[in-house]
Amino acid sequence: MLPVDDLGEPVPLPGPPTRVVSLVPSITEALLTGAVDPAVLVGATDYCTHPPDLDVTRVGGSKYPRVDRVLALRPDLVVANSEENRPEDVERLRADGIPVWVTAAPATVPAALGSLRRLLGTAWDVEPDWLVEAERRWREVTPPWARAVVPVWRKPWVVLGRDTFAGDVLLRLGVVNAFAEHPERYPRPELSELQDADLVVLPDEPYLFTPDDGPQFFPGLRPVHVSGRHLTWYGPSLVDAREALGTALGR
């Protein structure tokens, strides 16, 4: 039987992949941090910023990759994500005979790490040290002590809603997402609806919130500036994320 990705789609892998294109920044970092030989990765998106010295062919953005550029690299595996990448691009790659492993958008930290464990274990039979350590560090859940609004964009305002990885990260640190019960994963409330909380958590990606662009819209909330990589990426960054986010939150 062929292995299947997170969405249950078969992925024909005759052996460990040796030419991989990653369309997911956090998975790019996961692959190249003690998981596979760096020479395995032949292509990545423009937004794959880690490791900082990454030197591979760039194939455009996650939402709109240059599929022709991906095909030209002759990969034996492309790694994508159901939330970050468009189904039509995945289907075009598969139609051209390229195996594509699509990871699901995880709703929790354990789900995210479990997804990576299955990908790395299935494709390369590896369990990197950082994966074991990240699982250990995030097992604990701190009792709730604050309620937060978490914008990820403005013009229009977009915030974390239900079932998001970043929401679970904060929950494990004792911070309850004010929109955790919203029917949408990324609701677009009016600014006036974003004032009923203790904190406003302002990441630096995908929108670059700064001390001069963000806090002024939430005069009654304590602003907390955090690294978007620590809040939303799942992979090796999770080893340091708990301490870094806890420090930012003042805990």
Residue 69's SS3 state is helix
Domain spanning 20-136, CATH class: alpha beta
Location of each CATH 3.40.50.1980 domain in the chain: 20-136, 141-249
* CA–CA separation, 168 and 163 (whole Å): 8
* Residue 22: its H or E element: strand 20-22
* CA–CA separation, 70 and 45 (whole Å): 10
The token duo for 194 is: 């974003």
Instruction: Quote the pLDDT of residue 62.
Output: 87
pLDDT one-digit tens code per residue, 98-119:
999 999 999 999 999 999 999 9
What are the contacts of 245-248 at 24+ separation with CB within 8 A?
A: 245/169, 245/170, 245/173, 246/173, 248/224
pLDDT one-digit tens code per residue, 117-140:
999 999 999 999 999 999 999 999
The CATH code belonging to domain 141-249 is 3.40.50.1980
Residue from 93, 119, 125, 91 nearest 106 by CA: 119
Taking only the tens of pLDDT, the chain with its 251 residues reads 789 999 999 999 989 999 999 999 999 999 999 889 999 999 999 999 999 999 999 999 988 999 999 999 999 999 999 999 999 999 999 999 999 999 999 999 999 999 999 999 999 999 999 999 999 999 999 999 999 999 999 999 999 999 999 999 999 999 999 999 999 999 999 999 999 999 999 999 999 999 999 999 999 999 999 999 999 999 999 999 999 999 999 98
Instruction: Quote the pLDDT of residue 23.
Output: 97
Residue from 106, 93, 82 nearest 24 by CA: 82
pTM of the model: 0.94
4 CB contacts (<8 Å, ≥6 apart)? Answer: 10, 11
SS3 letters for 166-233? HHHHHHHCCEEECCCCCCCCCCCCCHHHHCCCCEEEEECCCCCCECCECHHHCCCCEEEEECHHHHHC
Instruction: Quote the pLDDT of residue 251.
Output: 85
Give me the helix-helix angle, 165-172 and 109-124, nearest 10°: 120
